[in-house]
Structure 1
């Protein structure tokens, strides 16, 4: 019997664009189908010809809905992939929000660039539009956690809870007599909303993320750190702008604000959630109560702590409102969305604060600002930033290095080989050294395009 092959088509040497291809006997299974985000050189990879003919891929597994794991599916579908895309039910619901929003943003950005003439391309085109996103969504086939699912051709899939965001899973694929486990993105232990990452007993081969492979999250209560920033800004008469991922981070921020108001520590400051997608994602918590820690009652109360800003005119009015407040708005790395308009409105005033909440990928506005940039380009123009800029890394939804090692400790025996992916070079190398020294496992950091035979 021939052995499966594993080829790394993305998320190798970088923290974005996760795409891992398993193949056996001419059959192909793609685990994660993410967009490259951040640096321009990475974003351009989304436009390159896919290294495998999409029509030859038999199926896709999506570990969770974040765009760096799901956002390339419309492009893959448009180019000929027509097989099933397996994921959990909550991930399927979130993908509907994220992929349609991604298409809308790309169409809007292309239209804006053409209208104002600042694109080098004539005309500027979206990577994909709404029609391609809808076509891709029809391919989603939800599968329950903790069951073996037959993928055909002798392959089975088991999804386990990964924490991280609603519906996130680790993926165990058994094929050709070998078991390969993909971590996807691992969440935090003792997270207030999401479950702990579920242990995996064994695997012949393991593909593990390393986003925070060289870091430990600060041992500070997130609510205390958030309160300190809000109070400091309010005393100046300023507004706190929080760029937040619409799926996951926004809901945790609402929960923390609710807990602070419940305890009487944040009685007066109004909270606004200005992101249609975040509003819709918040509603999905009520539909997937088994996928998080909150009861139905606590979920309803926590998510109602903010005033929801639905339409564009309300959002514009919020940008002109000078009273002290907190605005939570997407996107989390300030790469697009309504938060850019708020950054333009509030970023030049030192009374205000731009508060980031977790990992900022290289090449994003968020990464530039937390590293000291005092101006950023928004909608084709340079915007001076005189507001305070802060970051609360303990709000990250990613496991840190210690938590990754804790999850790896759940394996009853070492995998034959562990592939370290989805991290910048420093993070991946640091995690490799820790796994080798503390666990004694054989580890490899694959490069993009690299292929391994799983004997």
Structure 2
């Protein structure tokens, strides 16, 4: 008997956790934090509906927080199995989990200081020491090679094109004459995305667990390089700094590569690029280490413009280095997190520079409702920060085309060569996105498609 239970990323885009059971084996695919709405975040504090001590191993698709961020919690609760992933994922996961632990600890300290926690004293979900114990359990595997996280389950990684080290997972349950075949898509990357290879076509399978984040919409069709060049040139003409809000891992590195390429080709001025985020600086080091994993089809760099390095790229790790940027007059480019301007160093730069009409603020991706990025996107005349209303006189620009997820058309293109599976489970999407993609697959392919609920369990035969 093979059983699959959806403990996360079911009718939501977060908290990825899938428990696969076969014989006596219990393997968890991904172990992510729930993020976003309060009702989802509160799930992180409830005990999982499985005994963490009975899990043989965890296998990771990639290093984003909603796929790895719950690992230290289950280690804190007694999990002692192995954690399998690619080498790049292991290094990025360390950075992300340590940052998450720091935030958990700071939030608990703040709650205790202000006295607003339900629990006295407030405790973090996990601490840095839990992350260090978690890292001892990591075992790396290269792509395209079979390994067994627990017999009779065998797995193989294939490049998902979503993030450095990201994978879809091919599974064979080898307790029968013809193995039961399962594919976990992970997060499917975009075709022709900068720095990343196109996602590997899915292997034939009996069951497909497929993400559906953008299952009901397509990304805008734009010439990304030209759009970015136009924004930079307009900013340089204004004479002030260009502030780019970008996610620390993935988006920041893509932007630096594209900006370096535009500078090399002479399409933009040779402006300094300041990467103002300790987490992003550390991740950039990992990107440099795994240089062979990059797809540089947008263009090759040279000795004067080494990938993500060189005199034109300044890494600001220390707070003093970040504060020194306040003295720059421009033109220049500052890339800082957080991507939606909900916190981090970008907020301090915005507070100082939004009132200056020479400043350019660039929104580099989707901005959720209620975030500062969304307010700017919607034309806010003031922005509230640190208890003050800051006037918005800066130019607000947007660069589409940098999402790391395949859109509806991309998912359909990725699934196109797949022979008919017995059943497809759509996960990692809001219900409207999943239902839209499900209807398309039922109509155009005649597939049996199901959208599981959180906690739902299915027997696979």
TM-score (normalizing by structure 2): 0.90
Aligned residues: 451
Q: How does 1:397-436 map to 2 (within 5 A)?
A: 397-411=404-418, 413-436=419-442
Residues 117, 186 of structure 1: CA spacing in aligned structure 2 closer, same or farther, 3 A cutoff? same
For residue 65 of structure 1, what is the aligned residue in structure 2?
63
* Residue matched to 1:102: 100
SS of aligned partner of 2:31: coil
Q: Deviations over 1:395-448 (max 9, x none)?
A: 11111111111110121x111111111112222222212222222211111111
8 A contact 2:22–2:152 mirrored in 1:
no
Three-state SS of the structure 1 residue aligned to 2:244 is: strand
Q: Whole-Å Cα distance in 1 between the matches of residues 342 and 391 of structure 2?
A: 16
Counterpart Cα distance in 1 of 2:119 and 2:398: 35
CA offsets per residue over residues 77-96 of structure 1, 9 Å max, x none?
11111111111111111111
CA displacement 1:178-236 (0-9 Å, x = unmatched): 21111111111122311111112301111111111122222212122222223334444
Is the counterpart of residue 29 in structure 1 residue 27 in structure 2? yes
Which residue number in structure 1 is paired with residue 350 of structure 2?
Answer: 343
**3-state secondary structure, aligned to 1:418:** strand
- Determine which of 433, 444, 449 is the counterpart of 2:455: 449
Contact 1:286 1:296 survives alignment (8 Å): no
Map of 1:127 onto structure 2: 125
The correspondence for 1:438, drawn from 444, 453, 456, is 444
Q: Map of 1:7-406 to 2, 5 A cutoff?
A: 7-115=5-113, 123-175=121-173, 176=175, 177-294=179-296, 300-304=306-310, 305-347=312-354, 349=356, 351-360=358-367, 365-367=372-374, 369-370=376-377, 381=387, 384=390, 386=392, 387-406=394-413
Distance 2:415 2:373 in 1: 30
TM-score (norm 1): 0.91
Alpha-carbon offset, residue 268 of structure 1: 4.3
* C-alpha distance in structure 1 between counterparts of 2:41 and 2:263, whole Å: 41
Q: 1:391 to 1:110 in 2, by over 3 A?
A: farther
Q: Which moved more, 1:274-283 or 1:316-325?
A: 316-325
In structure 1, distance between residues paired with 2:389 and 2:283? 30
1:304-342: per-residue Cα shift (whole Å, max 9, x none)? Answer: 342111210111221453433321112323344322332
Unaligned 5+ runs, structure 2: none
Contact 1:65 1:92 in 2 (8 A): yes
Q: Give the C-alpha shift of residue 149 in structure 1.
A: 0.6
Are the aligned partners of 1:15 and 1:361 in contact in 2 as well (CA < 8 Å)? Answer: no
Alpha-carbon displacement from aligned partner over 1:118-172 (angstroms, at most 9, x marks no partner): 7676544322111011111111111110011122321101100011111000011
Query: Shift of residue 115 of structure 1?
Result: 4.8
Q: 1:378, CA displacement in angstroms?
A: 5.5
RMSD between aligned residues: 2.6
Go from structure 1 to structure 2 and tell me whether the alpha carbon gap of 1:355 and 1:48 turns closer, same or farther (over 3 Å shift).
farther
Q: How much has 1:274 moved relative to structure 2?
A: 0.7
Structure 1: give runs of 5+ residues left out of the alignment. none
Q: Is the 8 A contact 1:38 1:364 kept in 2?
A: no
- Structure 1's 265 and 410: CA in aligned 2 closer, same or farther, altered over 3 A? same
